[in-house]
Amino acid sequence: MLCLGIETSCDETALALVEDGVLVASVLASQAKMHALFGGVVPELASREHYRYVGPLFDELMARSGKTAAAIDLVAVARGPGLLGSLLVGVAFAKGLALGLGARFLGVNHLHAHLLAAGLEGELSFPALGVLVSGGHTHLCRMESPWKFVDIGRTLDDAAGEAFDKLGKILGLPYPAGRAIDALAREGVADPGLFPRPYLDNDNLDFSFSGLKTAAAAHVARNPVLSPPLSGPLCEKAESGAADNMQTLRDCCASFSLAVVDTLCAKARRALDRNSDLKTLVLAGGVAANSLLRQRMGDLMRERGGTACIPPAHLCTDNAAMIAYAGWLLGREGFSHPLSMETIPRGRKVPDDMVRQATPGRRVS
Ligand code: KG4
Ligand code: ZN
């Protein structure tokens, strides 16, 4: 089965083809540089860019893959959660394509697709603990199967990626700052006492990262060398003490990363203690690209005799391979959607409304 995946939920326009569980080709146009000018994603601009790129990217994908559009059995698209205008571009394109090609159509939960992406590197075993850490979400869930996810913990305010991005803003680093903070942290020395491990002193599996931003702002206020523009691109140009200032910046990033990672690992450990049947941990979302988090989640599972499935960094951030793979997994089980399927914006739960056919045909009407 050949599945086309389309991802337009935020600021990446991406398309990919997966055939029989294997990635055939993928293309991606990132809008990150444009939105960095505004310090965050501007929804109206994002949807216009998706509209501009989705058609040409489809042509490029088909040319690169050597496949014909007529060979596509299933068109899978990220249906939410995400920016509504952006999602609508991808979903409308996918519906038109499915209709034109006579292919099956399926809306994929963007968050579930992040967690299933690790399967592209080797089939996942279920049940598993899903740890989804992105710019908009921080979730712990029981992954019962590729189509059954049960939330067991979530952030009450900021997502883990948001915490990194807010520190980046305080330090004057370009948005999104997670990757740059990670790179700086690798050269720094973490002080475990510098920032709090928020919201651990309780009995639940939820997170609260908003206090970390306040702690980071207070730390920067006490250490003016960390204030922009010294921590930004002008850092190298500072006339005196530039090397010391740079090291202070690296140490701050290392301490902050350690605080976020310690907190995520503590709740993941608690979730595993309470769900003793879960022997596999799947790490996903943009923050799963974080080097310390990858190492510490790997250590956690090794210590428990389990397995950590952590996709390579390019499969952690938004991409279409994860949508095409999730679509292929679900399509293989006979799932699809009618063309009346709704698009789900950020903040609304994605409904479990797939239709299952006993013998998957090419189309559902
Ligand atoms: O999943 P994603 O690409 O987009 C959504 O939010 O859906 O995640 C983006 C988030 C941003 O907050 C970014 O700063 C963060 O992932 N991020 C990282 C790293 N790479 C990306 N955070 C920490 N360390 C990284 N290496
Ligand atoms: Zn995402």
For residue 10 and ligand 1, the question of a CB distance below 6 A is answered with yes
pLDDT at residue 361 in the model: 59
Task: Tell me the CB-side half-sphere exposure of residue 260, using CA atoms within 13 A.
Answer: 35
pLDDT at 240 over 70: no
Cα(133) to ligand 2 centroid in Å equals: 9
- The pLDDT assigned to 228 comes to 79
Residue 62 inside a domain? The answer is yes
Pocket-testing residue among 7, 8, 164, 258, ligand 1, by greatest number of atoms within 8 A of Cβ: 164
Residue nearest atom 23 of ligand 1, based on CA coordinates: 178
165 pocket-lining for ligand 1 (C-beta < 6 Å): yes
**Residue with CA at minimum distance from ligand 1 atom 16:** 286
Residues 76 and 165 in one domain: no
Task: Say if CB 328 and CB 18 are below 8 A apart.
Answer: yes
Question: How far does the centroid of ligand 1 lie from the alpha carbon of residue 257, in Å?
Answer: 13
DSSP 42: -
Question: Ligand 1: which atom is nearest the Cα of residue 168?
Answer: 14
Query: Span 219-231, mean pLDDT?
Result: 82
Q: What is the per-residue DSSP string for 47-71?
A: HHHHHHHHHHHHHHHHHHHT--GGG
Judgement on whether residues 91 and 222 belong to the same structural domain of the protein: no
DSSP category for residue 224 = G
Q: Which is the closest atom of ligand 1 to the Cα of 82?
A: 7
CB contact at 8 A, 345 and 83: yes
The answer to whether residue 363 is domain-embedded is no
Does residue 361 form part of some domain?
no
Q: Where residue 167 sits, what CATH number does that domain have? A: 3.30.420.40
CA of 235 to the centre of ligand 2 (A): 31
In a domain, residue 352? The reply is yes
Q: Are residues 140 and 233 in the same domain?
A: yes
Q: Assess whether the C-beta atom of 286 lies below 6 angstroms from ligand 1.
A: yes
Q: Is residue 292 part of a domain?
A: yes
Mean pLDDT of 125-137: 95
User: pLDDT, tens digit, for every residue of 189-206?
Assistant: 999 999 999 999 999 999
> Closest by alpha carbon to 143, among 289, 250, 16, 280?
280
Q: Are the CB atoms for 294 and 284 separated by under 8 Å?
A: no
151-166 burial code (b ≥16 CB/10 A, e <16): ebbbbebbbbbbbbbb
Residues 285 and 216 grouped into a single domain: yes
**Ligand 1 contact, 132 CB (< 6 A):** no
The residue range of the domain holding 20 is 2-117+316-356
Whether residues 223 and 274 share a domain: the answer is yes
Q: State the average pLDDT over residues 160-171.
A: 95
Query: Please, which pLDDT band fits residue 233 given cuts at 50, 70 and 90?
Result: very low
Contact 326, 108 (CB under 8 A): yes
CA of 178 to the centre of ligand 1 (A): 6
- 137 alpha carbon, closest ligand: 1
Residue 70 lies in a domain: yes
Question: Which residues are within 8 A (CB) of 319 and not within 5 positions of it... i.e. 6 or more apart?
Answer: 7, 12, 14, 16, 26, 28, 117
Same domain, 130 and 250: yes
136 lines ligand 1 (CB under 6 A): yes
State the average pLDDT for the chain.
93
The token pair at 206 is 């939820």
Residues 50 and 84 in one domain: yes
Same domain, residue pair 183 and 217? yes
364 located within any domain: no
Same domain for 216 and 145: yes
Q: Which two tokens stand for residue 310?
A: 């952590």
- Clarify whether residues 56 and 169 are in a common domain: no
102 shares a domain with 240: no
pLDDT at 276: 97
**Ligand 1 pocket residue status of 168, Cβ below 6 Å:** no
Task: Convert the pLDDT of each residue in 30-85 to its tens digit.
Answer: 998 898 888 888 899 999 999 999 999 999 999 999 999 999 999 999 999 999 99
pLDDT at position 160: 96
Residue-level pLDDT at 365: 41
Q: Is the pLDDT of residue 317 over 60?
A: yes
Q: How far apart are CA 94 and CA 171, in angstroms?
A: 40
Distance 337 CA to ligand 2 centre (A): 22
Percent of all residues in the chain with a pLDDT value above 90, rounded to a whole number: 86
pLDDT band of residue 124 (cuts 50, 70, 90) is very high
Chain mean position to CA 246: 29
Q: Which atom of ligand 1 is nearest to the CA of 114?
A: 1
Spell out the residues 6+ positions from residue 225 whose beta carbon is closer than 8 angstroms to its own. 241, 244, 245, 248, 249
Tell me: the pLDDT tens digits for 263-311? 999 999 999 999 999 999 999 999 999 999 999 999 999 999 999 999 9
Distance 317 CA to ligand 1 centre (A): 6
89 phi/psi in degrees, rounded to 5: -65, -50
Kindly state if the Cβ of 35 falls inside 6 Å of ligand 1.
no
Helix/strand/coil for 354: coil
| Rounded distance between C-alpha atoms, residue 352 and residue 312, angstroms | 29
Residue 147 lies in a domain: yes
Judged against a pLDDT cut of 90, whether residue 183 lies above it is answered with: yes
Kind and range of the H or E run holding 7: strand 2-7
Ligand 1 atom with minimal separation from the 289 CA: 26
Q: Rounded to the nearest whole angstrom, what is the distance from the C-alpha of residue 137 to the centroid of ligand 1?
A: 10
Expressed in angstroms and rounded, the spacing between residue 199 Cα and the centre of ligand 1 is: 21
Of 125-139, 229-243, 289-303, the poorest mean pLDDT is in 229-243
**Is 169 in the same domain as 107?**
no
Q: Which of 30-44, 84-98, 218-232, 303-317 has the lowest mean pLDDT?
A: 218-232
pLDDT at 364: 46
Number of domains in the chain: 2
| pLDDT at site 244 | 81
